[in-house]
């Protein structure tokens, strides 16, 4: 979950701001092209809890998106309903999943040549996990999924696509042991990367997060990565 002390920053450079029609009205989003040799992939990255200050400009979200772009993957970040320029109000995950559905439909309509990947941080990891099978995601990245908190994980259709979970072992908001126990209990466990001495917001560990994402997805890339 995002906390009120969450550090956010609008990323440097000119991201491509856009508006997507959503079920609750306007959805504010930002599309960023790949920074390396382009892969035929578009990744949607979901942000943490709106009621605790989570936005698409959260530093964990923007660092994960940066790692994807440096791997040749275009990224699409967006604000859930009631956040920033997105209309509507917080809906405890159900409406936010509808927002993700709308963003995914926009992505597929405008980039039909690209495989769809999903990624999310904290609350966004839960929302993207819930949508992964339904939306036919080709890969999934879950950063600090809020296992053991207010969000139900037992009735989610489990992904069979490549799936990476990244968790800090000093997370003060999500119980790292609960995440590990959940991952190992799954019939087909995802790859779990546990980062030592790492808090929920990856303070002073953002570059390590960048490396964990890039290393974790390298083998999933449709085209050989740039040297």
Q: Across the beta sheet with 16-22, what order do the strands follow?
A: 16-22, 25-32, 74-78, 41-46, 115-121, 139-143, 163-168, 191-195
pTM: 0.93
User: pLDDT (tens digit, 9 = 90+) per residue, 86-126?
Assistant: 999 999 999 999 999 999 999 999 999 999 999 999 999 99
Cα–Cα distance, 122 to 59 (Å, whole number): 13
In contact, 62 and 5? CB cutoff 8 Å: no
> What digits encode the pLDDT tens for the residues 15-70?
567 999 999 999 999 999 999 899 999 999 999 999 999 999 999 999 999 999 99
Task: Catalogue all structural domains in the chain, each as residue range(s) with its CATH number.
Answer: 16-216 (3.40.50.1820)
Rounded to 5°, angle at Cα 33 from 19 and 136? 75
Pairwise CA distance, residues 198 & 195, whole Å: 6
């Amino acid at each position: 979950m995002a906390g009120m002390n969450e550090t956010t920053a609008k990323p440097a450079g000119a991201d491509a701001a856009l508006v997507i029609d959503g079920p609750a009205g306007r959805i504010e989003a930002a599309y960023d092209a790949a920074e390396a040799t382009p892969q035929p992939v578009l990744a949607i990255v979901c942000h943490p809890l709106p009621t605790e200050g989570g936005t698409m400009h959260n530093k964990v979200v923007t660092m994960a998106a940066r790692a994807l772009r440096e791997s040749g993957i275009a990224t699409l970040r967006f604000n859930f309903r009631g956040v920033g320029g997105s209309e509507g109000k917080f809906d405890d995950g159900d409406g936010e999943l509808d927002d993700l559905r709308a963003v995914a439909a926009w992505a597929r309509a405008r980039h039909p040549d690209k495989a769809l990947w999903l990624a999310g941080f904290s609350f966004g990891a839960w929302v993207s996990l819930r949508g992964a099978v339904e939306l036919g995601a080709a890969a999934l990245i879950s950063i600090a999924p809020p296992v053991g908190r207010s969000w139900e994980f037992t009735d989610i259709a489990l992904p069979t696509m490549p799936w990476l979970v990244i968790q800090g072992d000093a997370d003060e908001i999500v119980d790292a042991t609960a995440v590990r126990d959940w991952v190992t209990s799954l019939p087909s466990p995802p790859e779990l990367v546990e980062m030592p001495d790492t808090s929920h917001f990856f303070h002073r560990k953002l570059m390590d997060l960048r490396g964990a994402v890039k290393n974790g997805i390298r083998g999933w890339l449709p085209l050989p990565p740039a040297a």
